Structure 1
Amino acid sequence: MSSEFPPFAVTVDLVVLTLRDGHLHTLVVDRGVEPFIGVPALPGGFVHPEEGLTEAARRELAEETGLRLPEAHLEQLASYGDPGRDPRMRVVTVAYLALAPDLPLPVAGTDASDSRWLPTDTLLEGAPPLAFDHARILRDGVERARAKLEYSPLATAFCPPEFTIAELRRVYEAVWGTPVDPRNFHRKVTGVDGFLTPTGDTTTRDGGRPAQVFRRGPATLLHPPLTRPAAPRTPPSAAD
């Protein structure tokens, strides 16, 4: 039976982010097959006929990197279907985002020749270039992660159970990719109902004067939301 519609495939790709050594890192694999053999890419692959999208995303992540994420740490990001995004055929991909603390070193498998964590800021600058349209997917994923820190208490997951405002601020700085004014940040986070609960203790582990210690509060949404600092403006050149 003929059809006027050409065949196409569905894939899943994953933007997996974590903090390592105080910096945001992205999980990448080196492709072991064509196209783009040997080129870094986001983990992912084709959806099998008998499985759902999220099931496929979890399977591909486990097969290519050995990582298995808890249910709450994987969310659908967006879909991408430009006709030329895959040289093999028309391929529509559904991207997923995971932002989780303490993720281990990956182990490559199936059609990935290697897998590793790379600094997100260098990947966003194009070093090294990613296969397919994965640079675009990564940018979208990082932007979603940065936005989640504005309206959710996700950043506390990257802190110890009891933490200082300075430790929490360093998480925001790492994910947002920009310095945050300490006094302004302290005022904002302590002014959000249910975000933080003081323990009554203090610590000097940040150096300097004793700092209050907090736990995550009961809030699931931050109101008012936190706002990222504006990106510094580039001064005009003499020719402008």
Structure 2
Amino acid sequence: MTKRAYESEYPPFYVAVDIVVLTVREEQLHVMAIRRGGGPGTGEFALPGGFVEIDEDLETAARRELVEETNLEVDFLEQVKTYGAPDRDPRGRIVSVLYVAVVPDLPEGEAGTDASEALWVPVDELMAADLPFDHNVMLVDAVERARAKLEYSPLAASFCGDTFTIGQLRRVYEIVWGKDKHSIDPSNFQRKVLTADDFIVATGEVVGDGPGRPARVYRLGGAAVLNPPVTR
């Protein structure tokens, strides 16, 4: 095949990946942010990410960029959405694929490559910042994906330890869903989590969990998908 067969009337463009890593710290939902070491947006908060190399698939690039810019590794990344507005990046025509990870017990970040700082920031604080590119939109979309995951997956229990009370589990839901403490009705929440097939399993133990009678202790069951879901 001749060289001319590869020519195209369409100009080339680049593919990037961006990553939202969420965790619960100090009773708040936090996101890993970087400060950009170079333009555009030098010194500004942004999401970790970068360009996909010619020999990489998308998730491999996302994992590489996350390690290079924050020194974080996660077991599972979920693809959220693709962003391709023509003017989303002042450097040229760049399409970016967004990934999200929601993980407990993550360490502090350690900046590298073109990030001058990597740090955990409360989600509300980063949402209020003027982020470069379309990172504000990406963050909103990723947080909504995380909140939805709590409805249909047992993810929240991973933030509770091996055993927990329903009150402790309810607090995780409040934090991730962006609700005030004690704003989720305890009786309604208990009914939902106990109705979901094999979501949580009673250990037979009880423990003091605030005022009132001792609370039952539970562990995570075997359900991969919550049926029925624990809706907001």
For normalisation by structure 2, the TM-score amounts to: 0.94
List per-residue Cα deviations over 1:189-212 (Å, max 9, x = no partner): 111111110000000144432100
Following superposition of structure 1 onto structure 2, how do residues 1-240 of structure 1 map, counting pairs within 5 Å?
A: 3-70=8-75, 73-124=76-127, 126=128, 128-178=129-179, 179-228=183-232
User: Which residue does the alignment assign to 1:235?
Assistant: none
Query: Secondary structure at 2:163's aligned position in 1?
Result: coil
Residues 30-66 of structure 1 show CA distances to partners (whole Å, capped at 9, x for unaligned) of: 0001111111100000001011110000000000001
SS at match of 1:109: coil
Q: Any conservation in 2 of the 1:13–1:94 contact (CA below 8 Å)?
A: yes
| Deviations, residues 132-186 of structure 1 (Å, cap 9, x unaligned) | 1000000000000000000111101111100000000000000001131111111
| Letter of the structure 2 residue corresponding to residue 139 of structure 1 | V
Question: Post-superposition shift, 1:94?
Answer: 0.6
| Count of residue pairs brought into register by the alignment | 224
In 1, Cα distance between equivalents of 2:88 and 2:11: 16
Contact 1:12–1:56 (CA<8 Å) still a contact in 2? yes
Query: What is the CA-CA distance between 1:122 and the residue it aligns to?
Result: 2.3
Question: Is the 8 Å Cα contact of residues 166 and 206 (structure 1) preserved in structure 2?
Answer: no
Q: Distance in 2 between matches of 1:218 and 1:207?
A: 31
Q: Over aligned residues, Cα RMSD in angstroms?
A: 1.1
C-alpha displacement of 1:123? 2.2
- What per-residue deviation string (whole Å, max 9, x for no partner) do you get for residues 63-111 of structure 1? 00011112xx211111000000000010000110100001110000100
- TM-score, length-normalised on structure 1? 0.91
Counterpart-to-counterpart distance in 2, 1:206 and 1:221? 30
Distance (Å, rounded) in 2 between the aligned partners of 1:153 and 1:12: 27
Structure 1, unmatched stretches of 5+, are: 229-240
SS of 1:183's equivalent in the other structure is: helix
For structure 2, the 5+ residue unaligned runs are none
Q: State the 4+ residue runs in structure 1 displaced beyond 4 angstroms.
A: none
Counterpart residue type for residue 101 of structure 2: A
Q: 1:115, 1:123 → 2: CA distance?
A: 13
- Matches of 1:58 and 1:206 in 2, distance apart? 41
Q: State the Cα distance separating 1:121 from its structure 2 match.
A: 1.8
